[in-house]
Chain A
Amino acid sequence: GAVVSQHPSRVICKSGTSVKIECRSLDFQATTMFWYRQFPKQSLMLMATSNEGSKATYEQGVEKDKFLINHASLTLSTLTVTSAHPEDSSFYICSAPGGGGYTFGSGTRLTVV
């Protein structure tokens, strides 16, 4: 079935640095990728929607200059957290329509120290 490979699974970075998270669709083309953020013991909140070859659409309250999304090919979408701060520590999950529904990556646990 459709698989989305997400890397890294865990990352610890220093405050002020940038972190890139990659999501690759395997065996299918993902023209759209949804990026979610999940704080501890909370639900998934949609941050943005990326579309191959065009600008991402951000949800209200999400800083587009802080969370840079690139969807340069039909199999790769990336989220870069720029100038990370401790409050950005969270679980980030990508999802692509496919396989008759939605396929999720395994998530990235970001810890900013």
Chain B
Amino acid sequence: AQSVTQLDSQVPVFEEAPVELRCNYSSSVSVYLFWYVQYPNQGLQLLLKYLSGSTLVKGINGFEAEFNKSQTSFHLRKPSVHISDTAEYFCAVSEGQGAQKLVFGQGTRLTINP
């Protein structure tokens, strides 16, 4: 069964600084990888996803992530953060697309300080 580990539960960053949120996964088969953002008392919004092809994936709001199969990682990055990026970020993995369940990491709370 697949699993996801987000190594940092909280990440404080100053505004306009770069940020990296780390995600490692474990699976015995090929996986599809996702990053979601959650604002307080709201559902999840997809930031980006890796299904196949280029290992560097660009998403919304200036975020990008790189799939590294040898290190089983899918770290999320943004070169310059804004106050509005303050939220909870979840990495998730599914073993195949479609009707396969998503397994989530523990989440990383990103706090942007002025």
Q: Point out residues on A near B: beta carbons under 8 Å.
A: 6, 31-32, 34, 42-46, 49, 91, 93, 95, 97, 100-102, 104-107, 109
B102 to chain A, nearest CB (A): 6
Q: Point out residues on B near A: beta carbons under 8 Å.
A: 34, 36, 41-44, 46, 49, 51, 90, 94, 97-107
Nearest CB in chain A to that of B46: its residue? A101
Are the CB atoms of B101 and A43 closer together than 8 Å?
Answer: no
Chain A residues near B51 (CB-CB < 8 A): 100
- The main secondary structure of chain B at its interface with chain A is loop
- The main secondary structure of chain A at its interface with chain B is strand
Are the CB atoms of B98 and A97 closer together than 8 Å?
Answer: yes
Q: Can you list 11 contacts pairing A with B, beta carbon distance less than 8 Å?
A: A6-B43, A34-B101, A44-B90, A46-B101, A46-B102, A93-B44, A97-B99, A100-B49, A101-B49, A102-B102, A104-B44
